[in-house]
Amino acid sequence: MAFSVVMPALEMAQETGKLIAWLKKEGDRVTKGEPLLEIETDKAVMEVEAPADGVLAGITGSVGADIPVGQTIAWIVSPGEKPPAENKSAATAPAARGKTESHAAPVAAAAAESQAVQSARISPKARRLAKELGVDIASLRGSGPGGEILASDVQAAAAPVVSGSPTRKSASLEAPSTLGRLMAERTTQSWTTVPHFFVTREIDAIALNEYREKLAAEIERTHKIRITHTDLLVAITSRVLLKHPRLNSSWTAEGIRLHDYVNMGVAIAVNDGVVAAVIPNAHAASVAEIATQRRDVADRARAGKLRPADIADATFTISNLGMYHVDQFSAIITPPQAAILAVGSIVDRVVAIGGEPVVRPMMALTLSCDHRAADGARAALFLNDLAQAIHEPEKSLA
């Protein structure tokens, strides 16, 4: 029995995926669940697993091509079996018809664009980029297969012409990466549709520092990994969230979905943006387990090898900029999550304790909340409990 390998939809509103590499070649034996190919979506480069056991055959997906979601790009067949005959017209016609219908508009500009698209083959990514950069696609000559216009063709056409006059200044235009463009779209959507409010609490981190030093040597010896303040904060915050379900909820059209588990998203900087990698069931994981998972997923993120499960189903997110010497900041919520915690650097400050000035390591935490899911009082109570847990980390993690 033949199993089709299709371009998967790994995220909402995904129209296409770029085929980066085949990890197996035509005729190779494959096992269900093993990495088969790499694709690039608007979020990251991800590995796609084989859907069945068998022999890889009938590869039609070309490396570097932008392929519509759902299109068959190969088959997995039994030994000696031939892949089914490909029906290109059936596969492409519905997608083309759907785009024509969904983008039709009773205005001259839309009609002109529709006519231009029909007279020149262009990838969906290139079409979006052309609209953003103001490039006339009818004037472009494509460098892709069959003359298809690619995103690189649009970027080249948008490059500024530098004047030969020594008195005239020029500016360069940098097209955003797919991840950068997605970040721009999602943060704009969140900021304009989610009613944010912010609560900040400055916390004495001396006990957190001491507990980290106490654990560090033992965990490095047993797990060969160096724990960070982020690892401790993931463990502590996850446990506190169980007592504050509104802060660990998701806003939906049907209502507020409360979670009885914590899948903690951790913001990780990569070359062209930020991804929120997920540590599932962080509320039940030890600090060593959290540190190991965070390191593994961070390595994959920076290498462009994230898997779909690495970035799925976070219920809350922590963004720590303390290592960049940022004292305090406010983060934008990732819908449908109800909140995100922004962590600043730990800095020695003079504070009053018992009426006397003393120097203590202080850390600013800023909670961004969706006001539809939680109000100021709930946010304040959560920060109070979180501060208490940070003051007594060994007790809170016992």
pLDDT in tens, 224-275: 999 999 999 999 999 999 999 999 999 998 999 999 999 999 999 887 788 8
Average pLDDT, the chain: 84
The reply to whether 223 belongs to the active site is no
pLDDT at res. 115: 41
Structural contact between residues 248 and 314, judged by C-beta atoms closer than 8 angstroms: no
In tens, the pLDDT along 74-92 reads 999 999 899 887 544 333 4
pLDDT at res. 207: 97
Confidence of residue 162 (pLDDT cuts 50, 70, 90): very low
pLDDT at res. 388: 97
CATH fold of 3-86: OB fold (Dihydrolipoamide Acetyltransferase, E2P) (2.40.50)
CATH architecture label of 104-163+170-175: Irregular (4.10)
* Of residues 74, 72, 76, the one with CA closest to residue 22: 74
pLDDT at res. 273: 80
Instruction: Please give the C-alpha separations between residue 312 and each of 86, 292, 317, 368, 391, in angstroms, as whole numbers.
Output: 33, 18, 12, 21, 31
Query: In CATH, which of 3.40.50.300, 1.10.10.10, 3.40.50.620, 3.30.559.10 is domain 181-396?
Result: 3.30.559.10
User: What span, in angstroms and rounded, lies between the C-alpha atoms of 6 and 395?
Assistant: 50
pLDDT at res. 288: 96
pLDDT at res. 87: 46
Percentage of residues in the chain having pLDDT higher than 90: 55
Confidence of residue 169 (pLDDT cuts 50, 70, 90): low
Greater confidence (117 vs 54) lies with 54
Q: Residue 111 above 70 pLDDT?
A: no
- The structure's pTM equals 0.65
Confidence of residue 160 (pLDDT cuts 50, 70, 90): low
The reply to whether 375 belongs to the active site is yes
Greater confidence (20 vs 121) lies with 20
User: What span, in angstroms and rounded, lies between the C-alpha atoms of 62 and 357?
Assistant: 67
Confidence of residue 30 (pLDDT cuts 50, 70, 90): very high
Structural contact between residues 266 and 350, judged by C-beta atoms closer than 8 angstroms: no
Delimit the domains of the chain by residue range. 3-86, 104-163+170-175, 181-396
Greater confidence (14 vs 253) lies with 253
pLDDT at res. 167: 53
Q: Which of 231, 371, 385, 391 is catalytic?
A: 371
Confidence of residue 331 (pLDDT cuts 50, 70, 90): very high
